[in-house]
Amino acid sequence: MSVRTATAAAAAAALFGSGALLLPADRPEATGQLSAHRADPVVVAHRGASGHAPENTLAAVDAAEALGVDWVENDVQRTRDGVLVVLHDTDLKRTTDVEQVFPDRAPWAVKDFTAAELAKLDAGSWFGAQFAGTRIPTLTQFLHRLERNRQKLLLEIKSPATYPGIERDIIRTLGRTGWLDRSHVRNRLVVQSFGADSVKRIHSLRPDVTTGFLGTPAVADLPSYAAFTDQINPSYATIDADYVAAVQRLKGVHGKRLRVNTWTVNKAADAVRARDLGVDGIITNFPDVVRDATS
């Protein structure tokens, strides 16, 4: 076990108690590029290690790091005053105390609040009392934490039609925080969305950035997606081995084999099946469970 893995195992035990699983020895594929080919699929912590900490928070990033997981997925939206924040739902009700703090602001849409207002919300108590006071991070804060932890990012542009121009804002923030240098672009960053036009805009703004389309396009339509993306990232419930193979037979926009990263797989048996379908990556709330099942 390497020094980093031993440290991560100790941190995981501290976070999750003495019952935490010990991490396996480091394998070369554990630190590779998300789009690289390997026997074992890359494990991606969905909204951070969101089975262990409140989703899309710095606590979830740190939980993934404590488990030795390199890749973190998040969701990015924009506040009323133009600040990029990390949050999944387009309203604030499920994962914050917004109804108590701002009772007269229904329907509590993210786009209707300023960054300063969001900073007042508790985004952790819903998950567990130990996370009381956890805040919604800005994208800049999130990127800094990933950098500190030496982690990598699968960034989802959430509901892009709600936020016209958000792609340019994201590229600007990535550039300002150092995430568009050669090392990050080649090894540590993928930008994805359910919106094909949004993925196209990212590719137009920064042709060097690896992109992913979220969804399961018909096999006949895959060549048109390969013209602007590097990955097809479908729901686990929508794929079989033939579909995965059909995607991987094509070359993406950067001339490399299209990759398949499937979501959201949380059970060991499903993780083994996803691996056996030939996927390149598995996005999960429980990266420890998936890693242990597939390695």
pLDDT higher than 80, residue 159: yes
**Choice among 52, 88, 184, 203 that is catalytic:** 88
What per-residue confidence (pLDDT) applies to 143?
98
User: Which pLDDT score, from 0 to 100, does residue 23 have?
Assistant: 26
Query: Given 46, 52, 184, 203, which residue is catalytic?
Result: 46
Average pLDDT over residues 19-40: 41
Q: Which of 130, 98, 132 is nearest to 112 (CA)?
A: 98
The whole-number pLDDT of residue 9 equals: 40
Query: Is the pTM of the predicted complex or chain greater than 0.85?
Result: yes
Calculate what percentage of the chain has a pLDDT beyond 70: 87
Pairing, β 42-45 against β 281-284? parallel
Predicted confidence at residue 77, as pLDDT, reads 98
**Mean of pLDDT values over 243-252:** 98
Average model confidence (pLDDT) across the chain: 90
**At residue 76, does pLDDT exceed 90?**
yes
Query: What was the pLDDT predicted at 3?
Result: 35
**Is 30 a residue whose pLDDT tops 50?**
no
Rounded mean pLDDT, 83-98: 98
The answer to whether residue 88 is catalytic is yes
Taking 50 as the threshold, does the pLDDT of residue 133 lie above it? yes
Q: What is the mean pLDDT of residues 214-235?
A: 98
The C-alpha atoms of residue 189 and residue 284 are separated, in whole angstroms, by 18
pLDDT at residue 236 tops 90: yes
Q: How far apart are CA 154 and CA 15, in angstroms?
A: 24
Whether 184 is a known active-site residue: answer: no
| pLDDT at residue number 270 | 98
At residue 111 the predicted structure's pLDDT band, cuts being 50, 70 and 90, is: very high
Strand partners, 138: 85
**Of residues 273 and 6, more confidently modeled:** 273
Q: Are 239 and 218 in contact (CB under 8 A)?
A: no
Q: Tell me, what's the pLDDT at 240?
A: 98
Using H for helix, E for strand and C for coil, what is the string for the chain?
A: CCHHHHHHHHHHHHHHCCCCCCCCCCCHHHHCCCCCCCCCCEEEECCCCCCCCCCCCHHHHHHHHHCCCCEEEEEEEECCCCCEEECCCCECCCCCCHHHHCCCCCCCEHHHCCHHHHCCCCCCCCCCHHHCCCCCCEHHHHHHHHHHHCCEEEEEECCHHHCCCHHHHHHHHHHHCCCCCHHHHHHCEEEEECCHHHHHHHHHHCCCCEEEEECCCCHHHHHHHHCCCCEEECEHHHCCHHHHHHHHCCECCCCCECEEEEECCCCHHHHHHHHHHCCCEEEECCHHHHHHHHC
**Region 59-74 average pLDDT:** 98
223 with 242: CB under 8 angstroms?
A: no
Mean pLDDT of 203-228: 98
How many CA atoms lie within 13 Å of 123's alpha carbon, on the beta-carbon side?
Answer: 26
Residue 5 has pLDDT above 60, yes or no: no
Tokens 């990012």 correspond to what residue?
153
pLDDT of 16 over the 90 cut? no
Average pLDDT of 211-232?
A: 98
The pLDDT value recorded for residue 34 is 58
Q: Give the model confidence (pLDDT) of 254-288 as tens digits.
A: 999 999 999 999 999 999 999 999 999 999 999 99
Q: What is the mean pLDDT of residues 153-173?
A: 98
Q: What confidence category does residue 220 fall into, taking pLDDT thresholds of 50, 70 and 90?
A: very high
pLDDT at 167: 98
